[in-house]
Structure 1
Amino acid sequence: MINLPSLKQLRYLVTLSETKHFGKAAEACFVTQSTLSAGIQELETQLDAALVDRTRRKVVLTPLGQVMAARAREVLAQAEEMVLLARAVSEPLAGPLNLGVIPTVSPFLLPRVLRSLRRRFPKLKLFLREDLTARLVQQLEAGRLDLLLLALPIEARAVETMPLFSDAFRFACRNDHPLAESNGVPMPALQNESLLLLEDGHCLRDHALDACQLPRPARRESVGATSLHTLVQMVDNGLGVTLLPDLALQAGILRGTDVVARPVMTPDHAEPPARQIGLVWRRGTQRAKEFRLFGEALLAALPKAKPAVEKPAEEKVAEGRVV
């Protein structure tokens, strides 16, 4: 019978591959450095192969060690799924769930739904990670995150998605802008505006440009910001106009500013330009049923949108509302 490595040894190897330092890896695994070092040596003895090159300055995994660390990460993720799957049979969404969320969704959506989710799943331990889409996908593929809440579509391999709702884009400008009093801004009119957008790396930037069918020159000439709140401040200071998602507007991002938002009108009067918000998880996971349940609960927790009511321009500006 083959002498198999223990899950503890595999965790030591994975952590060492991430930290490149015995002391930091030991601290992350809550063991002494000598214990972790001995565990790695035992693993090398079992495999009869060198996994780590030890030098005075740094720790470098051998080519085989890098392959073994990647395999070990998959084994650990599957072992964790086994435990969570057994737990989900008796009670779904009880225990830890590592959720990654993009910054153009997290502060505007989560405060509206977390209390309801806690009531429905009191034993759920939801750990949140806010980051850009590309890094969240990398962490999902590496097994560090279980589920992602972001804008679709994304570029990723071996994943499944669950679209949740459409998040329309609105044209945002100062209340003294020529288009501020219009009932709707024609999509072609955006090409003539000084458009402010998020910096490269934020998926909302590309989703907004694609949804509004803006040409490539607009992409090159656009000014980048680090957050939607920064964009609103730039618009409020008369530096240009922008496109904002309904999620942010409903959360009151325009409150206290002289910025107003107007619908974007498509040439064929079809649905307004929008991004799709949804969930993403690894294909083949045993927790797919749980994740779909989470998505359904998230939708149920969202307050029902109220129909827009036309108000005088002064009142709209004061409240920073969308019309």
Structure 2
Amino acid sequence: MNVTLRQLRIFVSVARHGSFSRAGDEIGLTQSAVSRGVRELEGELGLRLMDRTTRDVQLTGAGLNLQATAARLLTDLDGALREIREIGEQRRGRVVVAASPTVSARLMPVCLALCEVRYPFVSLVLRDDVQQDVIARVRSGEADFGVIIGPFESEDLIVEDVMRDSFVLICRSDHPLAARTEVDWQALSGIKLVMLDRTSGSRPVIDRLMRQRGVDVHIVQELAQSATVFGLVEAGVGLSVLPSLSLPLPADASLVAIPLVPRGERTIARVRRRARSLSPAADAVWSLVGEWRDGKPVLVPPGKGP
């Protein structure tokens, strides 16, 4: 027996419409092709499935039995094929995202968890790097896209802001400024500061804000990692200005974080090559990052995590 899907689809359409011509209109075949498909199916089965008159089409007992089964099987098959196509074309693949340190530590873990829930066939690989290396990975194609600190502009890259992050003063709990609910930037003039170095995407933003606020800067140490900055501040080497995403403070540290005013902000931006389109899998993760709002990424619902 050599029954084809084409024959079954023709039969189910004729049975549903009770007409060869209307079935032909639905599936894009001529009436004669539809009639031939039904005859071929009947020949393969050795049964008459339809009684034809000049006015309508009536199913035989065998035809009625086949209609119910064939319609259900075709519906299940179409659903399965649609699901496989979505997995194969849009939801499967390896995606490499490069991100700046605070973004990698505070935002990307949630993105990774959410990706596993929404796109279980996508393998998301995170590369945490200083900003200049993130941009280099994106430009070289080593990373599908990056998440960086803005503002940032480049003719060869597409840069889209996704959220904002403010800055805070980090000091010991016994420092005179620690009792304040907020600290003016100008209060930092002449105070020893322990800062992130210039490989950080935040540093140019902080420098610009200090110039705008007229701060007389006295930097005594420049470091690559927020964790090291916390250690030096706790040791009494100086105070620091860090983005809010650097929080929380170390649990065993006698440190406090105080908002700086007027409010100064950096942007978190997603960046990709202008001349290259993203794969369907990478585009899905790109959209996930775009869902971040107000400094808070969309969280995995309780009990829905991997």
Specify the TM-score bucket, using the shorter chain as the normaliser: 0.5 to 0.7
Distance 1:119 1:302, change over 3 A: same
Shift of 1:94: 2.5
User: Residues 110-168 of structure 1, C-alpha deviation per residue, up to 9 Å, x if partnerless?
Assistant: 23332122101111111221211112212211211110011112353311122111111
Once residues 216 and 189 of structure 1 are traced to their aligned partners in structure 2, the CA distance between those partners, rounded to angstroms, is 8
User: Does residue 255 in structure 1 map to residue 251 in structure 2?
Assistant: yes
Q: Matches of 2:181 and 2:215 in 1, distance apart? A: 27
Pairs within 5 Å for 1:72-87: none
Q: TM-score normalized by structure 1?
A: 0.59
Contact 1:211 1:275 in 2 (8 A): no
Give secondary structure in 2 for the equivalent of 1:263.
Answer: strand
- Would you say 1:296 and 2:296 are equivalent positions? no
**Secondary structure, aligned partner of 2:270:** strand
1:140 partner letter: V
Specify the alignment match of 1:172 in structure 2.
170
- State the shift of 1:241 in Å: 0.5
Deviations 1:264-311 (Å, cap 9, x if unpaired)? 111xxxxx111101100011332285464232355584359xxxxxxx
SS in 2 for 1:105: helix
**RMSD across aligned C-alpha pairs, in angstroms?**
2.6
Structure with bigger gyration radius: 2
Separation of aligned partners in 1, 2:149 and 2:86: 27
Aligned to 1:99: 97
Distance in 2 between residues matched to 1:282 and 1:93, nearest whole Å: 21
CA shift in 2, pair 1:214/1:93, >3 Å: farther
Distance 1:111 1:291 in 2: 13
1:155-200 alpha-carbon deviations (Å, 9 max, x no partner)? 5331112211111111110011111001110121122321110123
Cα displacement (A) at 1:217? 5.9
The residue identity in structure 2 corresponding to 1:296 is G
In 1, Cα distance between the equivalents of 2:275 and 2:284? 13
User: Which stretch has the larger CA shift, 89-98 or 157-166?
Assistant: 89-98
Contact 1:137 1:156 in 2 (8 A): no
Q: Is the 8 A contact 2:189 2:216 kept in 1?
A: no
Unaligned runs of 5+ in 2: 1-84, 301-306
Give the drift of 1:233: 0.7
Query: 1:184 is matched with which residue: 164, 182, 191?
Result: 182
* Alpha-carbon separation, structure 1, partners of 2:213 and 2:219: 12
Cα shift at 1:214? 5.6
| Residue number in structure 2 paired with 1:122 | 120
Q: Is residue 239 of structure 1 aligned with residue 230 of structure 2?
A: no
Q: Does 2:274 match 1:283?
A: yes
> What's the counterpart of residue 193 of structure 1?
191
Instruction: Please tell me whether the aligned partners of residues 169 and 246 of structure 1 are also in contact (alpha carbons under 8 angstroms).
Output: yes
CA contact (8 A) 2:111 2:288 kept: no
User: What's the TM-score once normalised by structure 2's chain length?
Assistant: 0.62
Match for residue 56 of structure 1?
A: none
In the alignment, what sits opposite 1:25? Answer: none
CA distance in 2, matches of 1:92, 1:301: 23
Equivalent in the alignment of 1:111: 109
Counterpart check, 1:273 vs 2:264: yes
Q: Secondary structure at the match of 1:229?
A: helix
What do the CA deviations read for 1:16-42 (whole angstroms, capped 9, x no partner)?
xxxxxxxxxxxxxxxxxxxxxxxxxxx
What residue ranges of structure 1 are gaps of 5+ in the alignment?
Answer: 1-86, 267-271, 305-323
C-alpha distance in structure 1 between counterparts of 2:86 and 2:193, whole Å? 48
Percent of aligned pairs with the same residue?
Answer: 25
Partners of 1:88 and 1:217 in 2: how far apart? 58
Q: Is the 8 A contact 2:172 2:234 kept in 1?
A: yes
Asked if the contact 1:196–1:231 (Cα under 8 Å) also holds between the matched residues in 2, the reply is: yes
Stretch deviating more after TM superposition (102-111 or 282-291): 282-291
* Equivalent pair of 1:254/1:260 in contact (CA under 8 Å): no
CA contact (8 A) 1:117 1:297 kept: no
- The answer (yes or no) to whether the contact 1:99–1:149 under 8 Å persists in 2 is yes
What is the DSSP-based 3-state SS (H/G/I as helix, E as strand, rest coil) of the residue aligned with 1:221? Answer: strand
1:213-260 Cα distance to aligned partner (Å, 9 max, x none): 366862x734211200000111111111101211121xx233210110
Give distance in 1, aligned partners of 2:206 and 2:274. 28
Cα 1:193–1:177, aligned 2, differ >3 Å: closer, same or farther?
A: same
Alpha-carbon distance in structure 2 between the residues aligned to 1:109 and 1:243: 20
